[in-house]
Each structure stands twice: as C-alpha cells, then as structure tokens.
Structure 1
C-alpha cells in the first residue's frame, strides 16, 4: 500500500509540472525596424542605449524614432526584462527624468502591437518590438546579440 501511495504522489507531482509548463505563456519578443535602417545586428547594450534614449542616431546619421507599448502591456514587460535586461519601472524613471528635465523626449507610446507595426513601417529610422511578425516585407526583424 505504501508503494502505491508514493507512486500516486510522484504521478501527481509530474502531472502538476507538465500542466504548469504547458499553461505558461512564452513570448518570443522580436525587435523590428523600418526597412530603411541599415543595421542588421544590435547588441543588447546598443538596444538598451536606444531605449534609454542615449543613442538617438543610427550609424549613418539618420534619426532613431523609438516606439513602445504602454507600461502595463504584457509584451512591454517581457521586452524590458528579456531584451533590455531592465525592469519597466527603471525605463519609466529614465524617460520621466528626460522629459521633465527638458533634456530629451520619451519614446512614442502606441496602444497595440498592430499600431506599433504600422508606425514602424510608416516611419523611416523607427524601431520597436512585437511578439509576432506577420508581414515581414514591411518591417525588418533585427538580430540581438549579447
């Protein structure tokens, strides 16, 4: 009897683990940009400089236009943590400091991933992020390295 009880407990533990893994949402955050941007690879450090508004021009001298989703959006949370390796509140502090000191501007916030894609494809020099790129001809997915 004791052996059956142990087997049942192991089975239930395995079942909870499998269900937990299967139910968790996995986000593959892709960084996208306007096709006019020449860069094809960015480091995490470069991406962080762009999103903290310390790098405002591409290598060819053209202006970078940064787009982001609202701070509470799940995709923004994942982008901040996974791609920038920062917490969203850290970005908010940086953007607020730039805005209220008059030393810079915060990124342009759009309401949805589709609005972000539309903004990127209509703005030369633009950069943003999405979880799923459907029309790869209108925007370019960029590779991020460490």
Structure 2
C-alpha cells in the first residue's frame, strides 16, 4: 500500500528591500510608513525631508510583491486610487522604472528617493531601509 501525503505551505521567495540613496539620513521606517509614502498620504521621511518614491513598471514581479505585501492592494485598485487623487488636483502616481538596473541607477542619483527591489539585487551603492518577507502560496 502506498500512502501519499499532500500538504500545503507557504514558501518564502526573494525578500524585497526598501532602498534609498546611500547617504539617506531620513530616520527609521516601518512598513506602514513606506505605504504612506508611496500612496502620498505622507510626503516626508521621519526627518522632515521630502520623499520621492518610485515604482517598478507594471507587470514587474517586484511591483506585484510590493503592492501585495506593502501597499496591500491590487494593480487595478492602485490605478483607481491614483485616478481619484488626480481628479481632485493631486499629482499622479510615482515615477515608474523599467528594470533592476534602472532602479539602482535612479536611487544612486536621487538623494531623497525611495524605492524597492528584490533583496538579492541589492549592491553596496544603496542603503537598505527595510526588508519585507515575501511569501507565495503554493
């Protein structure tokens, strides 16, 4: 007799690193604070310096994970959120960056920037502010 056990579990995938310019002096951030910055509910780091967030391009696995685990919203809901903000005179959603290289280049050249990237792609030219564990249900 053969017995087969089937289990379900969550497998940890590559964590996301919330990153900033290497000279970042804006203070410690929580996941909730990062969410507020990216939704422009807050415009400044804890230090009082203006924050300039940037997203990955639509369809990026990093963006999908960030939206799910930090923003806690789908791409569709995110688009509706920004459409409402624009309709009442706010500026549009954060800048979008097309690749990991573009993300790293942008953050190195944007002293008040904040963005995210798969943690395995981080190099010494950026400062990691927060690490977010990403799970994928199997």
Question: Would you say how many aligned residue pairs link Structure 1 and Structure 2?
Answer: 131
The equivalent position to 1:110 in structure 2, one of 54, 79, 97, is 97
The offset of 1:40, in angstroms, is: 5.0
CA contact (8 A) 1:36 1:125 kept: no
Name the CA distance, whole Å, in 1 between partners of 2:82 and 2:14.
25
| 2:129 matched residue in structure 1 | 142
RMSD: 2.6
| Equivalent residue for 2:50, pick from 63, 73, 76 | 63
More helix by share: 1
Any conservation in 1 of the 2:20–2:129 contact (CA below 8 Å)? yes
Match of 1:94 among 61, 65, 81: 81
Question: Normalized against structure 1, the TM-score is what?
Answer: 0.75
Q: Which residue of 1 aligns with 2:135?
A: none
Greater RCO, CA 8 A, separation 6+: 2
With the length of structure 2 as denominator, give the TM-score of the two structures. 0.79
**1 or 2, which has the higher strand percentage?**
2
How many Å separate the matches in 1 of 2:80 and 2:113? 22
Ranges in structure 1 where 5+ consecutive residues have no aligned partner: none
Structure 2 stretches of 5 or more lacking a match? 133-138
Higher radius of gyration, 1 or 2: 1
Say if 2:36 and 2:42, in contact at 8 Å, map to a contact too.
yes
How far apart, CA to CA, are the structure 2 residues paired with 1:89 and 1:41?
Answer: 30
